[in-house]
Amino acid sequence: MNNDWILIADDLRDLAALGAPFRMMTARDYVLQPKLLSGSRPKIINLARNYNYQTDSYYASLLAEARGHRVVPTVETMLDLYDDGPEETLPDLEEVLNRDLTRYLEGRAEKPADKSPEKAVPERLVVCFGETEDERFRRFARQMFDWYRAPVLVVTTMPNGVPGKVKIKRVKLTPFTSLKGEELKFFVDSLTTYTGRIWKSPKARTIAKWSIAVLHDPNEQLSPSSVESLKHWARLAEKDGVEIEPISKKDLSKLAEFDALFIRETTSITNHTYRFARRAWAEGMPVIDDPISMMRCTNKVYLWERLIGAGLPCPETIIVQDKTNLEEVADTLKFPVVLKIPDGSFSRGIKKANSMQELKEISDAFLEDSDLVIAQQFVPTDFDWRVGVLDRRAIFVCQYKMARGHWQIVNHKADGRTVEGGFRSLSVAEAPADVVDVGVRAANLIGDGFYGVDIKMGPEGPVVIEVNDNPNLEHGIEDASEKNHVWSHLTEWFVKRLNA
C-alpha cells in the first residue's frame, strides 16, 4: 500500500470499487479524527459525491490545507466552480480550447492524404487530473488542471457561430461516481498516472515529510544530471524524510502539488524551464534554479558586467555590435579571439576566430540572432576548473579536461555527435585555495542557490570564465571526492528553507 496518498470519500464503498492501493478514509473521519494522521504529511485526493459549500468534503479540503496536507481539489477550486462555474475565466478557457482546435485543423490541412472523417467538437469533454481522452484537447486539459486542480472536471460546449470555433457553456466540478463505462476506466487510468512513482524505493521506511519535484528530460543529450544520479539522490534523501519525484515539461499543472523544485534540464529564459521556475517562485516554493539566477547566469553580458564590477579576474572582454570596429577588437584581444552568444550553454554558441576573416564571419553569423556578441581574450589551458557552490559555500571541485584535439571540454561535431574530455575530482580541502575563493566570490554575486563556476588558471592566477546556474551534478563525477556529502548539502538546502 502506498502511504503517501490518501483517498477520502463520503462512503468507502465508492473507493473500494477503484481497486487503488492507497489508504482510504471517509471525509468525516478525516475532519473529526486528525490524530489518525499524526506525524505524517500525506497527499489527499478528495473523491466526495458532493463538493458543495460547508459539506464534509468542503471541510476536509479546508482542514487539509490548514494541516499542511496537499489536497485535490482545493477549497479555492470548490468555490471557483460552485454553482454555475467560473464565468469570469470562460473567455480565457475558450481561447485555449479554440487554439487546440485550430492547431488540430491546421495539422489536418497539411495532410491532404488524411481521409479520416472530421471529428466534431464533443458537447461534453471530461478532464481527469489534467488528462482527456480526446488527443485534440490535451493542452487544454492540462491548462484546466493548472487553473482548477480537481479529480474530474466536465466541460460542456456549444457552437459559437464561427466555423471551427466553440463556446464553453459550463465547467463543472464533478464527482467521479457520476462517470460510467469508458469514462470511469479513463478516470482510474488518470488517477494511476497522477499518483505514479518512478524513483521512489519500494522499501521506503520513512514517511516523507517533504517532496521535491525534479524537472528532468531523460532524452536530453547533455542533461545536467542523469536519471541514475537522481535515483542515487532519491535513495539518500529518502532516509531524511524527503521524497524526490521526477516531472516533465508537461507537468506544470502539477507543480503546486510539491513542496520544492529542482530543475535538471538545460535552462533558458525562452523555454519551459523559466516558466517552471517562475511558477515555483510565485507559489513560494524553494527552487533551484530560481528565475533571478537563471536570468543573471544565462546572459554572459550581465555576468561580465557583474564580475568586472566586483573586481574579480576575467579574460579581457569587448562587447561587439553590428557597428563595432572588428580591427580594433583584434588589435586589443589578439588572435585567437573567442566569440560567444550571450545565452549559450554546454560549449554551444562559442567559437574561436584565428583570423580577421573568421572574426568577421563568426560575428556576422552570431549577430543575426543577437544584438550583442561577446569577444574575449583566449586563455589556453589543458582543463577548466569547476567549483560547485551551494548556499554560498563550495561543495565540490572538479577539473574538466579539454576534448581530445579540441580547445573546449565539449566538442560539438558537425554530424551532431558530442565528444567530451575526461575529469578529475578533488575535495574542496585539497583544491587550490585561490581557485575555491574566486569561485565562491563569483557565485555569491548571483545568489544563494546552486552554481558551477568555470575558472581557468592564467599566468597571473585564476580567471573566471562564467557562472552556470544549472551545473552538472553526476554521481561518480562531481561527487567522486566529497561522496554523499554533496547530495546531503543539496537536501539540506531545501529542507532548511522548507522548515523556515
Grid cell 533558458 is found at 268
Question: What is the predicted pLDDT for the residue at 288?
Answer: 96
pLDDT band at 403 (very low <50, low <70, confident <90, very high): confident
Q: What is the pLDDT of residue 411?
A: 63
The pLDDT of residue 40: 67
pLDDT for 487 equals: 97
Using pLDDT thresholds of 50, 70 and 90, give the confidence band for residue 415: low
pLDDT tops 90 at residue 170: no
Residues carrying CATH 3.40.50.2300, the chain: 210-293
- What CATH class is the domain 87-194? alpha beta
Q: What is the predicted pLDDT for the residue at 202?
A: 46
Q: Output the pLDDT for position 485.
A: 96
Q: Where in the chain is the domain with CATH 3.30.470.20?
A: 380-468
> Of 85-89, 153-157, 159-163, 306-310, which range is least confident?
85-89
Q: Strand runs (DSSP E) across 68-165, as ranges?
A: 70-72, 124-128, 152-159
Report pLDDT digits (tens) over 138-152.
888 888 887 888 999
Query: Collapsing DSSP states into helix, strand and coil, what is residue 210?
Result: strand
Residue 463 three-state SS = strand
Domain 210-293 part of CATH 3.50.50.60: no
- pLDDT for 115 equals 45
**Could you tell me which CATH number the domain at 380-468 has?**
3.30.470.20
Provide CB contacts within 8 A for 318, sequence distance 6+: 324, 329, 332, 333, 374, 375, 376
Eight-class DSSP state of 346: T
Q: Which three cell numbers stand for residue 325?
A: 570596429
The CATH number of the domain covering residues in 2-80: 3.40.50.20
Based on DSSP, count helices (H) and strands (E) in the chain, helices before strands.
15, 22
Q: Give yes or no for residue 349 having a pLDDT over 80.
A: no
The pLDDT tens digits of the residues spanning 259-293 come to: 999 999 999 888 899 999 998 998 889 999 999 99
Q: What is the average per-residue pLDDT within 239-263?
A: 90
Query: DSSP character for 430?
Result: T
Question: Is pTM beyond 0.85 here?
Answer: no
Start-end of CATH 3.30.1490.20 domains in the chain: 316-378
Selected residue with higher pLDDT from 279 and 197: 279
Average pLDDT of the segment spanning 112-130: 69
Residue with cell 571541485: 397
Q: How many other C-beta atoms are found inside a 10 Å radius of the C-beta of residue 302? A: 14
- Phi and psi at 349, nearest 5°, equal 70, 25
Phi, psi angle pair for 244, to nearest 5°: -110, 120
DSSP 276: H
Strands 2-9 and 43-46: parallel
Fold observed for domain 316-378:
Dna Ligase; domain 1 (3.30.1490)
Average confidence score pLDDT of the chain: 85
Cα separation of 31 and 46, whole Å?
A: 12
Where in the sequence of the chain do the CATH 3.40.50.20 domains occur? 2-80
